[in-house]
Amino acid sequence: MNIVIDVNEKELDVEIKVAGEIDAYTAPKLKERIYSFSEKDGVRMTIDLSDVNYMDSTGLGVFVGLFKNVRSHDGEFKLIGLSERLIRLFEITGLADIININSKIEGGIK
């Protein structure tokens, strides 16, 4: 159960690339690594999940918390590169109607 988190920050644009599994073991690491970025006023946070092969409800909880925090600071929050399985997870929970999930990578995060 490994997770790799790469952050590219340029002023208010924060691009995060996550690879591996997001579960009860790795979700706290993810939150610890990126939560502080969600507290910047006007941040534009994009998280690329194209290399995430598994996520459970703990991972969903991290993204809901990030989304709420970004929005409370008048920022933008977007998830990109979701697999069909992850898209389905967000749809089943109703989060796809709230959080901007885009299955295509725009411009690409490297």
Top CATH class, 3-102:
alpha beta
One pLDDT digit (tens) per residue for the chain, 110 residues: 699 999 999 999 999 999 999 999 999 999 999 999 999 999 999 999 999 999 999 999 999 999 999 999 999 999 999 999 999 999 999 999 999 998 555 554 44
What backbone torsions phi and psi does residue 94 show, to the nearest 5 degrees? 85, 0
Query: Any residues with CB less than 8 A from the CB of 64 and at least 6 apart, and which?
Result: 95, 99
* pTM, to two decimals: 0.90
Q: Return the closest-CA partner of residue 57 out of 35, 87, 79, 27.
A: 27
CA–CA separation, 22 vs 66, rounded Å? 14
For the chain, give every domain's residue range: 3-102
pLDDT value at position 105? 52
pLDDT value at position 110? 41
pLDDT value at position 102? 83
CA–CA separation, 82 vs 52, rounded Å? 8
